[in-house]
A and B are shown apart, each in its own frame.
Chain A
Amino acid sequence: MAAAGAGRLRRAASALLLRSPRLPTRELSAPARLYHKKVVDHYENPRNVGSLDKTSKNVGTGLVGAPACGDVMKLQIQVDEKGKIVDARFKTFGCGSAIASSSLATEWVKGKTVEEALTIKNTDIAKELCLPPVKLHCSKSVLVPVKEIILLLP
């Protein structure tokens, strides 16, 4: 009868595994090991969150959205007369990867000339943050307003 008991136990265990509740989909409560620590760092210690004076002629504002997940990102860049980026701010409402990507982008563009800023590739951002494949689009999205702003600045 030991064989019977073992069989029943195994079946009960596998049934339990099947019935285990799914993790909640709220990304804020996802365990940290699902996000790379660099992403968590940007999320907990965001740099450059805020706004610049959008009426100033040295400030460019760019907006981008992600339709599948509903994330929205706003980037602002302030340029001096010589074409150097002196300040950058962002506001992002979305997942941790989107926030980290925009935070990193504002960090990287500061101090660069506009030509240098245009050379930043989304693969650089993705690599720096170790973004998983499903979040690669966040790194692409954040560069869209960067290019848009720079190309539209006088």
Chain B
Amino acid sequence: MRSGTLGIQDPAPSVPQPISSTSRVGRSLSNPRTGDRGDIGRGQMWGRRTGALLRVRGLWPAGVLGRRPLSCSAASLAGNSSPQCWNCGGPGSHMRGDGFFCPQCRALQPPDPTRDYFSLLDCNRAFRVDTAKLQTRYQELQRLVHPDFFSQRSQTEKDFSEKHSTLVNDAYKTLLAPLSRGLYLLKLHGVEIPEGTDYEMDRQFLMEIMEINEKLAEAQSEAAMKEIESIVRAKQKELTDNVSRAFEQDDLEKAKEMLTKMRYFSNVEEKIKLKKIPF
């Protein structure tokens, strides 16, 4: 018998088939955590068991086909800890290239979990952002990674594309609104707003929030609602400016206090939006 070629007589089918649990060959290959069966190209259809069988019989070469399938399951599991391209084994995209595609084979790489939203959307890590530039960059990125552009590609790339697209959406949504942007920036600096009672918020401010909420609950006319909306908007703008200044002065505590106040107003804004929806 010839060795090392597809002409070998063996129980596995000679035509590549998608691996399913009914096939003896495929069972050992699925990732137990995600059920991911990995890319079905490149000799994996033969399966480890067949390879082991043939190795024992001295028929399976130790070379290319005998290689352990480190590739996709490991890559999709570990994110980007492996610097190599999962597809061609070449140097990963983080050394060169745009961070998405392998510079050698152009295969889509898994998202980098260590990359923050500012870096992803090509912004300085600051509170002030150019929202127009943000939107342009968002659209550029989606044109690169959106699943619609990967319908003909391998399952691995489809999965990566979905992760990328979701990440880009989250990043854009977070950085677009001042409140979420500020909170995210605080988080990057290791400051989080704790769950629980607000012992520090001054009573005057809480009364103000209470009164605005009560006014909104009682508002019957569109004019009344518009008035409340403009009050809240003015407050938010003032607070946004305060947050911006606090970050510029590196005063994270002040930024935290201002962002907390913004949160209370933001809840009112949400309620206004809900109230506007006709039932």
Contacts and interface: CB of A to CB of B under 8 A. Distances in A.
Interface of A: 2-4, 6-8, 10-11, 14-15, 18-19, 26, 28, 63-72, 74, 91, 93-94, 134, 137, 140-141, 144
B207 A63 contact: yes
Contacts, number: 92
Interface stretch (B75-83, B229-237, B258-266): B258-266
A95 to B, nearest CB: 10
Given A6-B21, A93-B213, 15 more contacts: A4-B20, A7-B20, A11-B37, A28-B274, A63-B207, A64-B198, A65-B197, A65-B201, A67-B198, A68-B196, A70-B266, A71-B267, A72-B264, A91-B214, A144-B199
A68 B193 contact: yes
B103 to A, nearest CB: 28
Interface in B140-169: 155, 158, 162
B196 A4 contact: no
A68 B195 contact: yes
Nearest to B194: A68
Contacts of A74: 210
Interface residues of B, number: 36
Interface in B18-64: 18-23, 26, 35, 37
B22 A70 contact: no
Interface of B: 17-23, 26, 35, 37, 155, 158, 162, 193-199, 201, 203, 206-207, 209-210, 213-214, 260, 263-264, 266-267, 270-271, 274
A8 B155 CA distance: 10
Nearest to B16: A4
A63 B204 CA distance: 10
Contacts of A67: 193-194, 196, 198, 201, 260, 263
B22 A3 contact: yes
A137 B195 contact: yes
A3 B22 CA distance: 7
Contacts of A6: 20-22
Contacts of B209: 65, 72, 93
Contacts of B18: 3-4, 7-8, 11
Give the 3 A-B CB pairs with smallest separation, nearest first.
A7-B18, A7-B20, A65-B198
Nearest to A144: B197
A15 B263 contact: no
Given A3-B18, A68-B193, A141-B197, A63 B203 contact: yes
Nearest to B203: A63
B20 A65 contact: no
A69 B196 CA distance: 9
Given A3-B20, A4-B20, A72-B206, A66 B197 contact: yes
A66 B162 CA distance: 35
B193 A64 contact: no
Nearest to B264: A70
A151 to B, nearest CB: 15
A72 B210 contact: yes
Given A26-B274, A63-B207, A72-B206, A93 B162 contact: no
Nearest to A19: B162
A132 to B, nearest CB: 13
Contacts of B17: 3-4, 7
Contacts of B35: 14
A93 B271 CA distance: 10
B23 A3 contact: yes
B19 A141 contact: no
